Amino acid sequence: MDCFRRDPSFYDSEAMFADLGHFTSASVRVAFITVIYPCLMLQYMGHAAFLSKNTFHMPTGFYDTIPEPVFWPVFVVATLAAVVGSQAVISATFSIVKQCHALGCFPRVKVVHTSRWIYGQIYIPEINWILMVLCVAVTIAFRDTTLIGNAYGIACMTVMLVTTFLMALIVIFVWQRNIIFSLVFLVFFGSIEAVYLSSSLMKVPQGGWVPLVLAFIFMSVMYIWHYGSRRKYQFDLQNKVSMRSILSLGPSLGIVRVPGVGLIYTELVTGVPSIFSHFVTNLPAFHEVLVFLCVKSVPVPYVSPDERYLVGRIGPKEYRMYRCIVRYGYKDVQRDDDNFENMLVMSIAKFIMMEAEDASSASYDIANEGRMAVITTTDASGSPLAMRDFDGLADSMSTRSSKSESLRSLQSSYEQESPSVNRRRRVRFEVPEEDGMGQQVKEELTALVEAKHAGIAYIMGHSYIKARRNSNFLKKFAIDVGYSFLRKNCRGPSVTLHIPHISLIEVGMIYYV
């Protein structure tokens, strides 16, 4: 919107830094050295030459220095540069919001991956609408490029100062340089940028307050979301079910075990979440195989597929209870619906075989409850299960002869009406006949395969977060008003995790934090 006041080369530099998250460092360096930097130097040299010959006529904008014959070509180039620079800033905003969401610092939003070939090319509709509304509101409210320029100047100088502070941290923690070198860098560049920022602060009453207010709003949203999520996690951690109480229930857990696999989503990496006891208290029946699934975003860009799945066991082997931690980087694409269930079953099967080869795991010990193993999913040669594709409902129904005629009839009609379910069930597992496989291991693998063919149900908590009565006013406002408003107006966790609604079971719980 301020392309009438600024030169097009400046937008090229903005686009370069904004696109740093989508292109390699080498391509950015080449573009800067060969195109952007020469254009910036020529433009600023032209400004200096114009000012040296027109000392009594100070220009009020970039176009005052442009000769009349080339005014319109420069105007077209500046407009195109403004479009490119704005699009780059929008794309960078999408990437930053996605990474903040992965790190638990931003409410859940819809992330659309717009390209199958360019990794990290995303689109967030909610953020796009917010940016549009803010741009239109600022333009209508100010109606003056001078005020908009004041707001932009404070935002630009603040970003430069913050970047300098972050760069000083990178020098220490990433480059592993001496702290003295980092302090010298910070003092030298930070003092220069602080002087520029102090001069820009004089423009706060004249439009410069806009970026400060927006920064405060977005920082408050991020802080409230992170605070509420952290308090919810601490509540789960303090109220998890002890293993001694689980062991006292026996292999059947004191409930009816029905065919199938139950995936219980939890944020805990150890112990049994309180949602499990809440569920069995109201409905004393659970699946034959239980998997406590924890999806974690780790503070690294990408996680290798060979290090993504961590699998462990909860309780003795006859309990058929497992724990799986699926790790994603903040730039990773979330799981594929058609392949996740198969990879999960294969990972558990590999863990069973690895555990059987470990002599120390022959008997259950409560002290080793937190033991987990990294399972390689890309190597199919060491898999204890054989996978084959199958078509048609007849083959699927023949594997469920243990079910009653009524259940098989309902299953047949259900699969005919749900094409997505048929798509997810085209892979059939088989336990190979091997002499070296122990009888106990074979029975456990057979139970896992039969449970997978019987169906997978996703169990997730539908939580209501409330502040305790003795909490102070700020905490009550943050939890009861701010966090509750964000949770009601953001995307649900089942949608974010791509859980099929037809297989979802939600358990309502109230959290007093």
Residue 299 has pLDDT above 80, yes or no: no
d(CA 327, CA 304) in angstroms, rounded, equals 9
Q: Give the pLDDT of residue 2.
A: 42
Token couple for 425: 């069930």
Helix (H, G, I), strand (E, B) or coil at 289: strand
Residue 206 has pLDDT above 90, yes or no: no
Residue 393 has pLDDT above 50, yes or no: no
Pick the more confident residue, 119 or 228.
228
Q: Give the pLDDT of residue 391.
A: 52
Q: Give the pLDDT of residue 17.
A: 55
d(CA 321, CA 316) in angstroms, rounded, equals 8
The single residue listed with the structure tokens 């009861």 is: 480
Token couple for 366: 């409560």
- Domain range summary for the chain, segments of one domain joined by +: 1-142, 144-238, 250-390+426-462
Q: Give the pLDDT of residue 426.
A: 62
Q: Give the pLDDT of residue 134.
A: 92
Count of alpha carbons within 13 angstroms of residue 289, beta-carbon side: 28
Eight-class DSSP state of 174? T
List pLDDT tens digits, range 332-385. 776 554 578 888 888 888 888 888 877 555 566 665 666 778 887 766 556 677
Number of H helices, E strands in the chain: 18, 11
Q: Do the beta carbons of residue 235 and residue 513 sit within 8 Å?
A: yes
Gyration radius of the chain's alpha carbons: 29
List pLDDT tens digits, range 235-271. 888 888 877 777 777 777 778 888 889 999 988 888 8
> Which one of 231-240, 274-283, 405-414 scores highest in mean pLDDT?
231-240
Alpha carbon 96 to its chain's center = 11
List pLDDT tens digits, range 437-475. 778 888 888 888 888 888 888 988 888 889 998 989 999
Pick the more confident residue, 115 or 455.
455
Give the sign of the dihedral formed by CA 382, CA 386, CA 387, CA 389: positive
d(CA 233, CA 49) in angstroms, rounded, equals 62
Eight-class DSSP state of 53? H
Alpha carbon 92 to its chain's center = 15
The single residue listed with the structure tokens 């860009």 is: 301
List pLDDT tens digits, range 61-70. 677 778 888 8
Average pLDDT over residues 169-195: 92
Q: Give the pLDDT of residue 169.
A: 93
d(CA 110, CA 127) in angstroms, rounded, equals 9
- Mean pLDDT rounded to a whole number for the chain: 79
Residue 211 has pLDDT above 80, yes or no: yes
- Please report, as a single letter, which amino acid is at residue 95: S
Count of alpha carbons within 13 angstroms of residue 2, beta-carbon side: 20
Q: How far is CA 42 from CA 11, 74, 321, in A?
A: 15, 14, 68
- Measured from the Cβ of residue 226, the count of other Cβ atoms closer than 10 Å reads 16
Helix intervals (H) in 239-308: 243-247, 274-282
List pLDDT tens digits, range 313-325. 888 888 888 999 9
Residue 303 has pLDDT above 80, yes or no: yes
Which residue, among 26, 17, 28, has the nearest Cα to 163 in the 3D structure? 17
Pick the more confident residue, 490 or 404.
490
d(CA 278, CA 506) in angstroms, rounded, equals 11
Q: Give the pLDDT of residue 18.
A: 53
Which residue, among 228, 239, 370, has the nearest Cα to 294 in the 3D structure? 370
Percent helix / strand / coil, the chain, rounded to 5? 60, 15, 25
Q: Give the pLDDT of residue 396.
A: 45
Q: Give the pLDDT of residue 75.
A: 86
List pLDDT tens digits, range 38-68. 888 888 888 788 878 876 666 556 777 788 8
Alpha carbon 160 to its chain's center = 27
List pLDDT tens digits, range 61-95. 677 778 888 889 888 988 888 887 788 788 888 88
Percent of the chain with pLDDT over 70: 79
Residue 158 has pLDDT above 80, yes or no: yes
Q: Give the pLDDT of residue 415.
A: 56
Residue 223 zone, left/alpha/beta (φ > 0; ψ -120 to 50; rest):
alpha
